[in-house]
């Protein structure tokens, strides 16, 4: 086909970036694909709104049917967000023979398997590189570069807002509340930051990565998510003294035929590559059985990085159209989903306890750990003039999560323990 006709759904930050790239890179895209890529319609909320990208007025529409059901559209590029209505529109587009490129992480985390099935039935492509980690080509790496390997573990800093907050807390010793206000003022955090700071955004992305990496349909409800609202500057300070940086990590791990996927703040050893990922940057660390350790690092959000991933997917669709192989490269989960139980999820743990400052306290606490077969790597006590309780930091050897939950519950019931202040996984 000499001309590929595009229907663009959304003309916000990312949509405007897509328009710019298609215009500014027109000759390069023609040479790469052998086709002219032309935008035929753009779905917007208002055709009268002033925009920072010049688009002919006749291209704008407020009617989704002008794209989803239009016979003169070959590829639908969706960057407007939303789930229920957007799902229906993309299903209609696929059923009418249109290929789809989307940046919608919420949609793919919740309904990705359904949309992939529809695409396969219709012989259409659906690509979604931009749904995870913006401009980092992690999805293409998982579906293509690692296709001959067996992925054992993925660790991801996949939310720039929380990484910005934790970085500022680490470098400046500021409180969570102070840095959150700064992040909102800079536009890194929304007025309602719940999705970011409670780990929900990262959980959606980890569900997508785990589905691709482990070849099984990992649902958002399978991801145990804990955010950063309980992180204090004291936690970060104590971690630094022991050689760790505190990061909000997505963890996806395989043990035999079963997997576990979670999002949680974790103490990352400073020698680990993820410890030095700061600010709004994202990174995904992948451990393959054959290739070993790899890490993908870059801008996880923003107009141009995300738009670059969108257009890269579009180029793949066009190349497939010219080769007549659309729908043949879809990466669909084919393994039975098996989730690990707590007694099989293992790791090291960091605990900060506020305890009574008197003799015999430590002996009572260590007896609880011994009772549940959790061995200790180190036990430290740090004076804190601001806290009348004694503060004890414990780092365990590898222990299973079920035993750790029992330890924590029993410690909380000890008379000598005023509070189990913090519990974090230890990485590296």
Q: Is residue 167 part of a domain?
A: yes
- Closest by alpha carbon to 83, among 116, 108, 48? 108
Tens digits of residue pLDDT in 335-363: 999 999 999 999 999 999 999 988 899 99
pLDDT band of 134, cuts 50, 70, 90: confident
pLDDT band of 235, cuts 50, 70, 90: very high
The whole domain housing 421 covers 343-427
Say yes or no: 91 and 175 in one domain. no
Say yes or no: 63 and 175 in one domain. no
The answer on pLDDT for 67 being more than 80 is yes
Residue 242, pLDDT score? 93
Q: Is residue 332 part of a domain?
A: no
The answer on pLDDT for 125 being more than 90 is yes
pLDDT band of 324, cuts 50, 70, 90: very high
Q: Is residue 218 part of a domain?
A: yes
Please, what is the average pLDDT of the chain?
A: 94
Q: Are 115 and 87 in contact, with CB atoms under 8 Å apart?
A: yes
Residue 302, pLDDT score? 79
- Cβ-proximal residues to 86 (8 Å cutoff; 6+ apart), any chain: 9, 78, 80, 104, 107
Query: Tokens in use for 251?
Result: 């963890």
Cα distance between residue 312 and residue 204, in whole Å: 22
- In the chain, what percentage of residues exceed pLDDT 70? 99
- For the chain, the straight-line distance linking the first and the last C-alpha, in angstroms and rounded, comes to 51
pLDDT band of 332, cuts 50, 70, 90: confident
The answer on pLDDT for 270 being more than 80 is yes
Say yes or no: 188 and 166 in one domain. yes
The answer on pLDDT for 385 being more than 80 is no
Say yes or no: 372 and 268 in one domain. no
Say yes or no: 277 and 155 in one domain. yes
Say yes or no: 314 and 293 in one domain. no
Residue 301, pLDDT score? 77
pLDDT band of 310, cuts 50, 70, 90: very high
- Cβ-proximal residues to 370 (8 Å cutoff; 6+ apart), any chain: none
- Closest by alpha carbon to 168, among 156, 155, 186, 193? 186
Tens digits of residue pLDDT in 280-292: 999 999 999 999 9
Say yes or no: 172 and 143 in one domain. yes
Tens digits of residue pLDDT in 259-268: 999 999 999 9
Say yes or no: 130 and 147 in one domain. no
Catalytic annotation present for 205: yes
Helices (H), 232-360: 233-241, 303-323
Say yes or no: 255 and 120 in one domain. no
Q: How far is CA 401 from the centre of its chain?
A: 23
Tens digits of residue pLDDT in 12-36: 999 999 999 999 999 999 999 999 9
* The one catalytic residue among 41, 105, 205, 421: 205
Residue 329, pLDDT score? 78
pLDDT band of 131, cuts 50, 70, 90: very high
Say yes or no: 128 and 143 in one domain. no
Say yes or no: 21 and 116 in one domain. yes
pTM, two decimals, is 0.93
Residue 366, pLDDT score? 95
pLDDT band of 208, cuts 50, 70, 90: very high
The CATH number covering residue 153 comes to: 3.30.360.10
Query: Tokens in use for 191?
Result: 């007025």
């Amino acid at each position: 086909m000499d001309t590929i006709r595009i229907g663009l759904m959304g003309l916000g930050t990312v949509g405007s970036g897509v328009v710019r790239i298609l215009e500014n890179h027109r000759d390069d895209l023609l040479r790469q694909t052998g086709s002219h890529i032309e935008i035929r319609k753009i779905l917007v909320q208002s055709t009268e709104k002033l925009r920072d990208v010049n688009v002919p007025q006749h291209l704008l529409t407020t009617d989704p049917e002008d794209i989803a059901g239009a016979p003169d559209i070959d590829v639908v590029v969706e960057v407007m967000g939303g789930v229920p209505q957007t799902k229906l529109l993309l299903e209609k587009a696929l059923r009418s023979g249109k290929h789809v490129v989307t940046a919608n992480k919420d949609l793919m985390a919740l309904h990705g398997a359904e949309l992939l099935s529809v695409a396969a039935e219709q012989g259409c492509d659906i690509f979604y590189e931009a749904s995870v980690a913006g401009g980092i080509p992690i999805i293409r790496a998982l579906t293509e570069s690692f296709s001959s390997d067996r992925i054992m573990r993925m660790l991801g800093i996949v939310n720039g807002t929380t990484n910005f907050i934790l970085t500022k807390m680490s470098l400046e010793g500021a409180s969570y509340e102070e840095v959150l206000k700064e992040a909102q003022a800079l536009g890194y955090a929304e007025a309602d930051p719940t999705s970011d700071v409670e780990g929900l955004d990262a959980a959606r992305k980890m569900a997508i990565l785990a589905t691709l990496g482990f070849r099984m349909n990992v649902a958002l409800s399978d991801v145990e998510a804990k955010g950063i609202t309980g992180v204090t500057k004291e936690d970060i300070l104590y971690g630094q003294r022991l050689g760790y940086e505190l990061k909000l990590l997505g963890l996806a791990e395989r043990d035999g035929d079963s997997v576990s996927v979670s999002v949680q703040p974790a103490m990352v050893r400073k020698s680990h590559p993820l410890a030095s990922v700061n600010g709004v940057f994202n990174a995904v660390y992948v451990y393959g059985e054959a290739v070993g350790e790899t890490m993908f690092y870059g801008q996880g959000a923003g107009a141009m990085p995300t738009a670059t991933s969108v257009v890269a997917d579009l180029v793949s669709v066009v190349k497939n159209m010219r080769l007549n192989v659309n729908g043949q490269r879809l990466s669909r989960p084919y393994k039975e989903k098996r989730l690990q139980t707590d007694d099989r999820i293992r790791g090291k743990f960091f605990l900060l306890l506020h305890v009574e400052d008197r003799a015999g306290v430590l002996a009572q606490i260590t007896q609880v750990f011994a009772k549940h077969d959790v061995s200790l790597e180190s036990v430290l006590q740090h004076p804190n003039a601001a806290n009348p309780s004694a503060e004890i930091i414990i780092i365990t050897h590898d222990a299973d999560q079920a035993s750790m939950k029992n330890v924590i519950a029993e410690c909380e019931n000890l008379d000598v323990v005023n509070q189990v202040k913090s519990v974090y996984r230890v990485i590296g």
